[in-house]
Structures are given as structure tokens and as C-alpha cells.
């Protein structure tokens, strides 16, 4: 399951909002359901609501803030968004995208693909491109490209971002790589 510093989302539902596509789902921390997330795509802030008593809600809020700081220290905002101050709402939106990328790769793995790259082209901060790979050599060639930015290469085990990154296998009988992002 796609997880960033212990946080994951399950049961994501998407819908059309006034200003784009909205979504909502259950927030999990270390495998335990701890809250609810909703972005109504109405131009307002997303709702991040933790369950439990006040102390537990504060603890989860603090953990989410810490995860946000760690994540954006490792993967800073770029392009026209680089001047923004990252917040928990942005983190949750990133987690939604991360979860959707995992779902997409799982679908393509059924057709024999071992990896998927998601990237942007210079000057195009709003649209993501996807490229699929069936061979490790193709991934290595992709990594040499200079006409792209913000590239992320996902393999089947690449959907956990934690303090200690696991090695990621490239496919059966292939070597491993220590990082999912370029």
C-alpha cells in the first residue's frame, strides 16, 4: 500500500467538484484507521479530520505535520510552486497521487511492465506524463534523458517512503536500485 512516513489512504472516492476533481478517503497511520480526508475541489481548503479524543487528534496532527516537513525536505516543490510553503493539505494531495500511481502500476504489471515513470516537461508544471517499462535497460535509458524534470520511477515495491528506504527490485531476476526517484 502506498505509504509516506506511515500515512496512507484507503477507500479513495473521486468526484467532480466546482474546480476540478475532488476526492475523499480514510486516513491510516501505521495500518490503523485514524481519520478522514476530503478535498471537495470547490476552491476551499481540504478537510483533514482525525478520530479520537483531543489528545489523540493533536498527536496525529503533529505526526502529519512532521511527515509533511520530512517529505518536502526530501522532495521540495519545484517550478511555479517552489515559492509555496508546503502544508498538510499539500502532503495529503501528494499521498492521493502516490496512491493512484500505485494503483495504475498494478494494472500495468498484469501486462508485463516492471516499472512506470511519472515526469513533467520543463515549463509544464501542471501536466504529468507517464512512461512504462518492460526492461531494466529501458529504465536506464530513461534516466539519461535531459528533456524532462521531476521524474519519479516506480517499481512494485516503490510505494513506501520511510526514514529507511528499502531496496527496490526491478523485476524478476533483475538487480535492485536504492531509490525510486531521480
| Per-residue pLDDT at 96 | 96
Residue 6 has pLDDT above 90, yes or no: yes
| Per-residue pLDDT at 71 | 94
Query: pLDDT (tens digit, 9 = 90+) per residue, 57-110?
Result: 999 999 999 999 999 999 888 777 889 999 999 999 999 999 999 999 999 999
Alpha helices by DSSP H, listed for 25-146, are 54-74, 88-109, 136-143
Query: pLDDT (tens digit, 9 = 90+) per residue, 160-176?
Result: 988 864 444 444 444 44
Q: Which phi-psi region, left, alpha or beta, contains residue 90 (left: φ > 0; alpha: ψ -120 to 50)?
A: alpha
| Per-residue pLDDT at 112 | 95
* Cα–Cα distances in angstroms (integers) from residue 39 to residues 23, 42, 141, in the given order: 5, 8, 37
Residue 135, CB half-sphere, CA atoms under 13 Å: how many?
3
| Per-residue pLDDT at 81 | 82
pTM: 0.80
Residue 130 has pLDDT above 90, yes or no: yes
Q: Which residue has the higher pLDDT, 9 or 152?
A: 9
Residue at grid coordinates 494531495: 93
| Per-residue pLDDT at 138 | 95
Query: Mean pLDDT throughout 110-126?
Result: 89
Amino acid at each position: 500500500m502506498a505509504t509516506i512516513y506511515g500515512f496512507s489512504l484507503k477507500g479513495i472516492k473521486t468526484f467532480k467538484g466546482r474546480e476540478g476533481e475532488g476526492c475523499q478517503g480514510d486516513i491510516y497511520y501505521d495500518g490503523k484507521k485514524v481519520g478522514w480526508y476530503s478535498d471537495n475541489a470547490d476552491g476551499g481548503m481540504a478537510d483533514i479530520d482525525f478520530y479520537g479524543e483531543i489528545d489523540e487528534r493533536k498527536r496525529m496532527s503533529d505526526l502529519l505535520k512532521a511527515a509533511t516537513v520530512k517529505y518536502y525536505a526530501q522532495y521540495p516543490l519545484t517550478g511555479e510552486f517552489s515559492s509555496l510553503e508546503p502544508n498538510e493539505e499539500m502532503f495529503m494531495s501528494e499521498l492521493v497521487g502516490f496512491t493512484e500511481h500505485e494503483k495504475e502500476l498494478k494494472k500495468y504489471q498484469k501486462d508485463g511492465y516492471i516499472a512506470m515513470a511519472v515526469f513533467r516537461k520543463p515549463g509544464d508544471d501542471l501536466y504529468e506524463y507517464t512512461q512504462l517499462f518492460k526492461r531494466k535497460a529501458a529504465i536506464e535509458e530513461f534516466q539519461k534523458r535531459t528533456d524532462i524534470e521531476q521524474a519519479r520511477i516506480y517499481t512494485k515495491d516503490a510505494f513506501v517512503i520511510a526514514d529507511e528506504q528499502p531496496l527496490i527490485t526491478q523485476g524478476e531476476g533483475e538487480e535492485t536500485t536504492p531509490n525510486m526517484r531521480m
